[in-house]
Structure 1
Amino acid sequence: MKYLIFITLLFSTPLFATTKIAPATSWKQFLSDYSKQVESKLKAKSVPGAALTIVSVSNQNLVKGIGVTQIKNGSKVDIHTRFRLASVSKTFAGSLSAKLAAEGKLKLDALVSDYLPYFHGSNYQTLRVYHLLSHSSGLVPNAYDNLIESRMPYEDIKARLLNVEAICEPGKCYGYQNVMFSLVGDVIAAATGISYETWIRDFIFAPLSMKDGGIGYDNMVRDGNYALPHVKGRKRWYTAKLKSNYYKVLPAAGVNASAADMEKWLEAQLGLQPAVLPLDGLVNQRRPYTLTKRELRRRTWRNFVNDAHYGLGWRIYDFDQETIYYHSGWVQGYRTDVVIMPRLQIGFSLLLNAEAAVLNELTTDFVEQVLKREQELNRNSAQLVAEED
């Protein structure tokens, strides 16, 4: 009897047991899990509202509104609710400039003085167009941002810049700018005869079917479907007044967009709209023009970033050996992040109507979790091949 049991077990059990492969999380499940994570963390911090967009060229997209437009008596945020992009607006200026250069309408290596004659004889007469877009003008960081907050007109603010002594030669050091960066709008108008506002409205938003947002204060408030800004008091968030001051510097901080708009923008950044953003323009905007060492010390990000540069309106990070393109935005009452992962053909944006630091954690979580899932997929694929051999 024992002999028969042994024979039965021998023929019913594989001679060589195979290791069971744990399936990687499906993309659909990944989106669901991450979306719940965002909602949970925003709720824990009492953040009023958000717009989440995740694009994958080979999988489905996620476009979602979260929370409310205003902490008290606000409307539900939907995918068409406008948020201020703040400095994420710089990605539009960089992409537009690279597009115009690819089409022969603008020279990125031309002297700024070729387009703006008042630069002749100034401290910045050797400045080139790409220096404006890569924060390498040599000007002290955030020069005259305080005047943006004031009632002083943009024309008066930018006139003062040229009298500030440079701290290095153009291209030699990094100094983040808003006013100097925004001069690229004047350069574009001089080079093409078309205003920066018109370029963004008619040659970016319109052909990409970005129907909700646009550029400037009037665009933001044109109807009731926009997220109001919130600032933190001692114990809770308070709705703040929507200010127009940073709309003075349109290329640096003047764009508004919804979750639905950001889906179109991310798709264009991933190369799906070459008629609007040509591929050679996308490549050029992502060249590492300026080394940005201080980004290696940035809170939360410093745990992942090994190298950091600035391109044309985009940050370029080595995130745990993966090259990503990134930008953040912060203006009173709003925080925003955008990420492009070109190798994996994935894009991400998260817009908040509150100055909540949790955004850094949510963005790095997303990139880290995408890379972890990719590693699982690769590991499982390699194991299957090995077993077949």
Structure 2
Amino acid sequence: MKSLFIFSKCLLLLTLSISAKGDEHKKAKAWEHFVSDYSKQVRQKLKEKSIPGAALSITHVKYGDIAKGYGKTKVKKGRPVNGQTRFRLASVSKTFAGSLTAKLAADEKVDLDKYVADYLPIFRGSQYAPLRVFHLLSHSSGLVPNAYDNLIESRMEYDNIYPRLLKVDRLCRPGICYGYQNVMFSLIGNVINQATGLSYDTWLNEFIFKPLGMKEAGLGYEHMTKDDNFALPHVKGRKYWHTAKLKKHYYKVAPAAGVNASAEDMVIWLKAQLGLYPSVLSLDALTIQSRPFTLTKRELRRRVWKKYVEQAHYGLGWRIYSFEGETIYYHSGWVQGYRTDVAVIPSLGIGFSLLLNAESGLINQLTTDFLRKAIDVAREVEPH
């Protein structure tokens, strides 16, 4: 009788094990089918709009990654875009600044609550003396939006631009209102240099890119053009896309817009945001960067996805949304000739990035479609 009981118990466990494996196989197949269909959708939409080139990165903590290139690096005589082709990330660069600063804060090398003036004496005695480090990265300095972006586009060096901010009357006290910045945001590079004795470039290259194995990632114009496997910018004429000159302007604000990376690099970056590289980005760092510092009501009115977003904030270099009931971390980028998007859904273990070498609003539709469908698929295979 006892042996019969043991046999029955073993049979039950075996049945449950087979069932679990079958369920997991179905979930993996469902995700694989979704990614395949979405990749085809991207290819078709890019073709319809004659977009010169694109790089797509998708990761799932259980079901793997894809890093794909589409099209050409330039419309005439360009080389095919592949997984190693570098794209300019534009303002998606802010996610790297936010994560790096959160890492330094977790390691007690930078104090987010300290006054900026403690690191940069030029702010002492000014109307921005109350400015704290976290205000820089959360766009809550009190400045009018995009202050002195026009000077970024001039020949003036960054070190001659940012002191002018002290003369701009603030709209509100730091921490009260939201105003998107590039010049003020990039002061985090100066803060990091003063706090640690190492430059922003050194920290990003030696403590983020290299340990993560982001082989094509780097900062600046010279890095972008080190060989011919980079996507050139494109602007739309009356009917056709035209290759534009790669401009250096926004590279001068490296934390805000200075990073270049490939599809393969972005897969790694997404996985780091999902906690898969804790030696580089710890759970403490990821928690710090995702604190919702600043309310951004305007984002609730974005035309393409306003019916999906319930809440919108800005953390440290990352936008934080409640999208169809899921918390997502997101950022977009736009500089002449490029559009970029990155999104992470931590609770579902999903990451997404799309990089275009063209100024096309198509990216809004493609990103929204991915988020909606990925959430639906994840909820079907793993109900909350």
TM, length-normalised to structure 2? 0.92
Q: 1:338·1:350 contact (CA, 8 Å) conserved in 2?
A: yes
Q: Choose from 107, 114, 130 the match for 1:103.
A: 107
Q: How many angstroms apart in 1 are the aligned matches of 2:382 and 2:281?
A: 31
Q: How many angstroms apart in 2 are the aligned matches of 1:295 and 1:39?
A: 28
Q: Which residue of 2 aligns with 1:224?
A: 228
Q: Which residue of 1 aligns with 2:122?
A: 118
Q: How many angstroms apart in 2 are the aligned matches of 1:303 and 1:105?
A: 41
After superposition, the C-alpha distances for 1:142-163 in whole angstroms (9 at most, x for unaligned) are: 0000111111111111010011
Compare 368-377 and 105-114 and name the one that shifted more.
Answer: 368-377
CA shift, 1:298, in A, is 1.2
Q: How many angstroms apart in 1 are the aligned matches of 2:303 and 2:125?
A: 41
- Which entry has the higher C-alpha Rg, 1 or 2? 1
CA shift, 1:27, in A, is 1.5
After superposition, the C-alpha distances for 1:317-339 in whole angstroms (9 at most, x for unaligned) are: 11111110000000000000000
Q: Which residue of 2 aligns with 1:155?
A: 159
Q: Which residue of 1 aligns with 2:352?
A: 348
Q: 1:334·1:353 contact (CA, 8 Å) conserved in 2?
A: yes
Q: Choose from 65, 73, 79 the match for 1:75.
A: 79
Q: 1:55·1:266 contact (CA, 8 Å) conserved in 2?
A: yes
Does residue 285 of structure 1 match 2:289? Answer: yes
Q: How many angstroms apart in 2 are the aligned matches of 1:376 and 1:205?
A: 35
Q: 1:55·1:263 contact (CA, 8 Å) conserved in 2?
A: yes
Q: Choose from 352, 371, 376 the match for 1:372.
A: 376
Compare 92-101 and 26-35 and name the one that shifted more.
Answer: 26-35
Q: Which residue of 1 aligns with 2:180?
A: 176
Q: How many angstroms apart in 2 are the aligned matches of 1:269 and 1:147?
A: 33
Q: Which residue of 2 aligns with 1:248?
A: 252
Q: Which residue of 1 aligns with 2:23?
A: none
- Gaps in structure 2 of 5+ consecutive residues: 1-25
Pairwise mapping of residues 250-329 of structure 1 onto structure 2 (< 5 A)?
A: 250-329=254-333
Q: Choose from 130, 134, 138 the match for 1:134.
A: 138
Q: How many angstroms apart in 2 are the aligned matches of 1:76 and 1:192?
A: 41
Q: How many angstroms apart in 1 are the aligned matches of 2:229 and 2:104?
A: 32
Q: How many angstroms apart in 2 are the aligned matches of 1:299 and 1:185?
A: 33
Q: How many angstroms apart in 2 are the aligned matches of 1:213 and 1:224?
A: 15
Q: 1:69·1:227 contact (CA, 8 Å) conserved in 2?
A: yes
- Identity fraction in percent: 65
- Gaps in structure 1 of 5+ consecutive residues: 1-22, 383-389
CA shift, 1:76, in A, is 0.2
Q: 1:123·1:164 contact (CA, 8 Å) conserved in 2?
A: no
Amino acid at match of 2:309: V
Q: 1:182·1:250 contact (CA, 8 Å) conserved in 2?
A: yes
Q: How many angstroms apart in 2 are the aligned matches of 1:329 and 1:144?
A: 18
Q: How many angstroms apart in 2 are the aligned matches of 1:201 and 1:284?
A: 21
Q: Which residue of 2 aligns with 1:28?
A: 32
Q: Which residue of 2 aligns with 1:65?
A: 69
Amino acid at match of 1:135: H
RMSD, matched Cα: 1.3
Aligned length in residues: 359
CA shift, 1:375, in A, is 2.9
2:272 counterpart SS class:
helix
CA shift, 1:54, in A, is 0.3
Q: 2:30·2:381 contact (CA, 8 Å) conserved in 1?
A: no
Q: How many angstroms apart in 2 are the aligned matches of 1:144 and 1:366?
A: 35
Amino acid at match of 1:334: Y
Does residue 186 of structure 1 match 2:190? Answer: yes
Q: Choose from 177, 196, 200 the match for 1:196.
A: 200
1:55 counterpart SS class:
strand
CA shift, 1:108, in A, is 0.5
CA shift, 1:376, in A, is 2.3
TM, length-normalised to structure 1? 0.91
Q: How many angstroms apart in 1 are the aligned matches of 2:128 and 2:307?
A: 37
Q: How many angstroms apart in 1 are the aligned matches of 2:106 and 2:100?
A: 10
CA shift, 1:378, in A, is 4.5
Amino acid at match of 1:122: S
Runs of 4+ in structure 1 off by over 2 angstroms are 374-379
Q: How many angstroms apart in 1 are the aligned matches of 2:325 and 2:366?
A: 20
Q: 1:28·1:60 contact (CA, 8 Å) conserved in 2?
A: no
After superposition, the C-alpha distances for 1:160-208 in whole angstroms (9 at most, x for unaligned) are: 0011010000000000000000000000000000000111111110000
1:72 counterpart SS class:
coil
2:211 counterpart SS class:
coil
2:70 counterpart SS class:
strand
CA shift, 1:374, in A, is 2.2
2:185 counterpart SS class:
helix
Q: Choose from 208, 214, 226 the match for 2:212.
A: 208
Q: How many angstroms apart in 2 are the aligned matches of 1:301 and 1:193?
A: 43
Q: 2:290·2:320 contact (CA, 8 Å) conserved in 1?
A: yes
